[in-house]
Amino acid sequence: METTPKKVPILANLADFRTAHLQPVIDFLKAQGNVPATDDQFRYNRDGLGVYGFAQPLDTQLLQEHFDFRPWLKVWYKG
């Protein structure tokens, strides 16, 4: 019998509500060899929109297999 690995939850209501819930995703992508393109930090525009960029395209299928994304959290990328 084949078992499906348990997905990592994406938590809400953390101290830095803007970005802390994404840290496990960032750590996972870096562990996969994807290099940060924004000096390993979020960049915020004047409206408070934060962007954390990677040098390589995101493997959204791998992310969705590994993490339990809540319906309101979408994985956005430039492909």
pLDDT of residue 77: 46
Over range 22-47, report the average pLDDT: 91
What angle is formed at CA 42 by the lines to CA 21 and CA 46, rounded to 5 degrees?
Answer: 110
> 31 φ, ψ to 5°?
-65, -25
> 64 φ, ψ to 5°?
-70, -25
pLDDT, one tens digit per residue, over 59-74 is: 888 988 898 877 666 5
Neighbour tally for 5: CB within 10 Å: 7
Within the chain, residue ranges assigned H as helices are 23-31, 60-66
